[in-house]
Amino acid sequence: MRILISGASGLVGTALAKTFRAEGATVAHLVRPGAASLDGGIRWDPATGSVDASAMEGADAVVNLNGASIAGGRWTPARKAILRASRVDATRTLVDALGRLRQKPRVLISASAVGYYGDRGDEILTESSGAGAGFLAELARDWEAEAIRAESSGIRTVLVRFGVILSAEGGALPRMLTPFRLGVGGRLGSGKQWMPWIALEDVIGAIRFVIANADISGPVNVVAPNPIENAEFTRTLAHALHRPAIFPAPAFALRLVLGELADELLLAGQRARPEKLLAAGYAFRFDTLDTALKAVLAA
């Protein structure tokens, strides 16, 4: 099997490429201008819409993980433009290139996020729930709209809506650990916002699962079956580290430091459920937070 991955240098892309190669698959990375050369790299430049489409011929599956870090800085107009371009514009370039191929891949797996749903309180959110309001929701909606165009070229398209990915290798968790290890960790704001988490191992497992299952298409919530509120998440993390969780971060302070990012990324929540994965028979390796954290922290 030949797999193409955009965003292969990120947390998910690195782990996914390693897994596929261990299984004997051929992995080709889409590489931007100026990036370090990677084995099997295919040059592309989403900023100009250029891509070496001929080198993409013969791929069985394409995994689109491209996107600048959402939490990489305050959401100034310039930063928002970068976030949109790295997702919406890059996906448009990729899908246009796939549509021109003589031999099209069987499936496109394109990243998205549960931020699609916006801040919905205690509402249980499944793949059939509509889009919410706010910058993240609009970004995810437009991102998915570009990806789903691949269906018109006869390519099965899956939109994987990621929750908070737990890994010792990167993502949100390492940044959470420092204050807790120092004994000054605590809930964010009221702590009542829902956190749809998932272990990196299950992210990789879910992507492999949807590639192998031709009946799965459209949006898929890639989250563990048991989302929890932020206050419970912080208590569980503190317990795993044998530290207290008694220093909450007030909402006003988070807004002062991070602005709009705080409201939508830290203080908003999505009670998302992985209905499609469960219905299709995916068996989660980690379905409770305490077992997931124990495994991640042991690593």
> Is residue 3 classed as helix, strand or coil in its secondary structure?
strand
How far apart are alpha carbons 41 and 43 in whole angstroms? 6
How far apart are alpha carbons 194 and 192 in whole angstroms? 6
pLDDT of residue 179: 86
Name, in order, each residue with C-beta under 8 angstroms of 233's C-beta and a sequence gap of 6 or more: 195, 197, 289
How far apart are alpha carbons 287 and 284 in whole angstroms? 6
By CB atoms closer than 10 A (0-12, 13-18, 19+), residue 204 is middle
pLDDT of residue 33: 78
pTM, to two decimals: 0.94
- How open is the CA angle 164-14-32, to the nearest 5 degrees? 105
Each residue's pLDDT tens digit in the chain (299 positions)? 999 999 988 999 999 999 999 999 999 999 887 666 556 689 899 888 888 888 999 999 999 999 999 988 899 999 999 999 999 999 999 999 999 999 999 999 999 999 999 999 999 999 999 999 999 999 999 999 999 999 999 999 999 999 999 998 888 888 888 888 888 889 999 999 999 999 999 999 999 999 999 999 999 999 999 999 999 999 999 999 988 888 888 898 889 888 999 999 899 999 999 999 999 999 999 999 999 999 999 87
On the CB side of 16, CA atoms within 13 Å amount to: 30
pLDDT of residue 38: 56
How far apart are alpha carbons 191 and 232 in whole angstroms? 8
How far apart are alpha carbons 5 and 27 in whole angstroms? 7
pLDDT of residue 39: 60
pLDDT of residue 133: 96
Q: Which residues of 153-182 are buried (b: 16+ CB within 10 A; e: fewer)?
A: bebbbbbbbbbbbbbeeebbbeebbebbee
Cα distances from 140 to residues 77, 110, 211, 256, in angstroms, run 17, 11, 21, 25
Query: Which residue, chain included where needed, has tokens 């570009």?
Result: 146
